[in-house]
Copies of this chain bind each other. A is one copy, B any other.
């Protein structure tokens, strides 16, 4: 008499959450410093000091009933103005508050886009490796998620397979760059090829194929890497953003959907976003943190810590003989597992309390995700265990 789907989804939980909960239980038994938990993307770099300052300033100087009160469903006007200004300044765009809809984080941003777009028989396409929750969110709207096989050479798009997967039911394509779980940033070449193909296919099938750009990691990029701003390449784009990673506020659930004026039927589209946010029960994005991110929109947590972690871990693993594409951003490494069955590999790692996430759920078997948004010390301590594993598999150089 309950929804069977919901029981199943709620009982399984995500593999990531499952491993994370396991790690918490183990930590209570053997101590936190004995657990090498690389399972969850919870930033270890604290929010910039300006976040705390912003909170204190708002609490001190603004009216409590306003600060904690309802905002308009699309978000506070001034907040959206500040955020539009920040985007314009950084990316040379020309947005206003009317292009923004504040959300309770990236999961909400993309759920809203799926719900706003989804009609009978629709298909949404994404590229492996991909964030597994996409499947839940797409299927919750009644649509189907199509996953294009990974290009494991460099984790750019596998265009040959992609082209085959597009058909008359394709409603939208979801990209996530910098990518969770590979850390790879799509090159401008990839974006140009992708958007050219989408324009052609939209024409061929006589309807718009939308591009949903899920980019919570936009700000977490390393020296010399550029993340193209997608709306400059393709009009029918939704930008889904979250401050979870850039300001280290994943628990606070704050982000936005950006709808460019150039999108087909702007007014209806923005209305559909509002409608989707409404029926999904979001009401408004958390009001204090709307104001906080508006004040801190130009800032980012200290990315150099992630870059140092990346260097240490990536170089360490390569040295030991692991195969891995070098990430350009985010805080994930996605090496090949040392046996074909990534789950079996993760189980073996677990015996050493080394917690990794098998790539299978990301649509990319034979790989494991390592979230290195952890204390650098944890990486230092975990390297000998990675070494031991390599030795067990006889792959050491």
Taking beta carbons and an 8 Å cutoff, which residues of A are in contact with B? 1-11, 13-14, 17, 21, 40, 42-47, 51-52, 55-56, 59, 63-65, 67-73, 104-105, 107-108, 110-112, 115-119, 133, 136-137, 139-140, 171, 207-208, 248-253, 264-265, 268-290
In the complex, chain B residues whose CB is within 8 Å of the CB of A2: 116-117, 119, 265, 268-269, 272
| In the complex with contacts A68-B47, A71-B251, A251-B68, A276-B116 CB distance below 8 A | no
- A46 touching B64 by the CB < 8 A rule? yes
A221-B145 Cα distance, complex, nearest whole Å: 48
B137 near A279 with CB under 8 A, answer yes
Most buried by B among A71, A73, A269, A286: A286
CB distance from A319 to the nearest CB of B (A): 29
Nearest 3 pairs between A and B by C-beta?
A: A251-B287, A10-B275, A111-B281
Contacts of A51 in B (CB 8 A): 64, 68
In-complex Cβ contact of A65 among B7, B43, B117 (8 A): B43
Set of chain B residues within 8 Å of A45, measured between Cβ atoms? 65
13 A-B residue pairings within 8 Å (CB atoms): A2-B265, A3-B272, A6-B275, A6-B279, A9-B274, A10-B271, A17-B73, A52-B64, A67-B251, A104-B253, A105-B283, A107-B281, A140-B279
> Least Cβ distance of A46 to chain B in Å?
4
- Cβ-defined contact, B283 with A11, below 8 A: no
4 A-B pairs besides A13-B274, A47-B65 with CB distance below 8 A are A3-B275, A43-B65, A43-B69, A68-B248
Nearest CB in chain B to that of A287: its residue: B251
A171 engages B286 (CB within 8 Å): no
**Is A110 a contact partner of B281 (Cβ separation < 8 A)?**
yes
Q: Tell me which of B56, B63, B108, B208 contacts A281 (CB under 8 A).
A: B108
Cα A104 to Cα B117 with chains together (Å)? 24
Q: Which residues of B contact A117 (CB under 8 A)?
A: 1-3
| Min CB–CB distance A292 → chain B (angstroms) | 10
The reply to whether A46 and B65 form a contact with Cβ atoms under 8 Å apart is yes
Contacts of A47 in B (CB 8 A): 64-65, 68
Q: Out of B7, B112, B133, B282, name the residue touching A107 (CB < 8 Å).
A: B282
